[in-house]
Amino acid sequence: MVKETTKEKWELIWNDEFDYEGLPDENKWDYDAGGAGWGNAEQQFYTAYDTNTVRVANGVLIIEAHKKWHLGMPYKSGRVVTRGKGDFLYGKIEISAKLPKGRGLWPAIWMLPTEQKYGGWPSSGEIDIMEMVGHEQDYIHFSVHTGAFNHKNNTHKTYRTYLNGASDGFHIYAIEWYPDKIDFFLDGEKQFTFKKMGDDPQKWPFDQKFYLIMNIAVGGTWGGAKGVDNSIFPQRMEVDYVRVYKLK
């Protein structure tokens, strides 16, 4: 881990402080709804406009997973997106969050391309600002996926660090995304850098707009690698704020 903090000057351009109650602000957030595994054999159904799985209360956004059958899937959860309402090219993206806890859970804060300029996944890229799986509690993963570097081929670019108490308090997960690199931060300390290696979009598709995703998956090829502990539910991820900046 590189022990340094950013020295850039940033200007806030998009944010949600969750200082209201009810469903997330529809001018900023949408939902990905559905089941069918999401390409990873996940076991949850993501519901939309459902305050059981996604709501704002007491100053935080709550994404909550439940052990409850829903449209053929044994769990239900939430997945919010900024697609079409917050699409960004370069800048600093910062999220303060407290993570859920329990074997079988897979919380994530990540980004996908709005238009998939270079084709379907993984060719157009993926940026994983934070991932954790419950069977490896407190180990935070930062990753990128591209056509050349992705987990299907075991070539993805990734870094893992231990964060004591990831589910006990709020921590700040962030990226600083430039035309030639993406830096990943945890609580203001740089953890990992992915650098541009030429103009091949299979290696660097990060010259197009991406949108933010926040969700809790249940089970799946990674999250469920050691099964799901059904005694843990419900479990929630709480988000204190989301802030997006551009360079001044």
Which pLDDT belongs to residue 7?
63
pLDDT-based confidence at 4, cuts 50/70/90? Answer: very low
Q: Regarding predicted confidence, which is higher, 155 or 10? A: 10
Q: How far is Cα of residue 167 from the mean position of the Cα atoms in its chain?
A: 15
If DSSP codes are grouped into helix, strand and coil, which group holds residue 219?
A: strand
Which pLDDT belongs to residue 155?
87
Query: Is residue 2 predicted with pLDDT exceeding 90?
Result: no
Query: Is residue 151 predicted with pLDDT exceeding 90?
Result: no
Is residue 131 part of the annotated active site? The answer reads yes
User: Average pLDDT, whole number, for the chain?
Assistant: 95
Which pLDDT belongs to residue 1?
42
DSSP string over 123-168: TT-EEEEEE--GGGTTEEEEEEE-SSS-TTTT--EEEEEE-TTTTT
Query: Is residue 6 predicted with pLDDT exceeding 80?
Result: no
Which of 42, 64, 94, 131 is catalytic? The answer is 131
Which pLDDT belongs to residue 5?
45
pLDDT-based confidence at 152, cuts 50/70/90? Answer: confident
Phi, psi (rounded to 5 degrees) for 154: 60, 35
Is residue 126 part of the annotated active site? The answer reads yes
pLDDT-based confidence at 156, cuts 50/70/90? Answer: confident
pLDDT tens for 189-228 read: 999 999 999 999 999 999 999 999 999 999 999 999 999 9
Any bridge partners for residue 29, and if so which?
none
The model's pTM: 0.95
Which of 42, 94, 126, 238 is catalytic? The answer is 126
Pick the closest to residue 126 from 158, 85, 174 (CA basis): 158
Query: Is residue 3 predicted with pLDDT exceeding 50?
Result: no
Contact predicate 149/156, CB 8 Å: yes
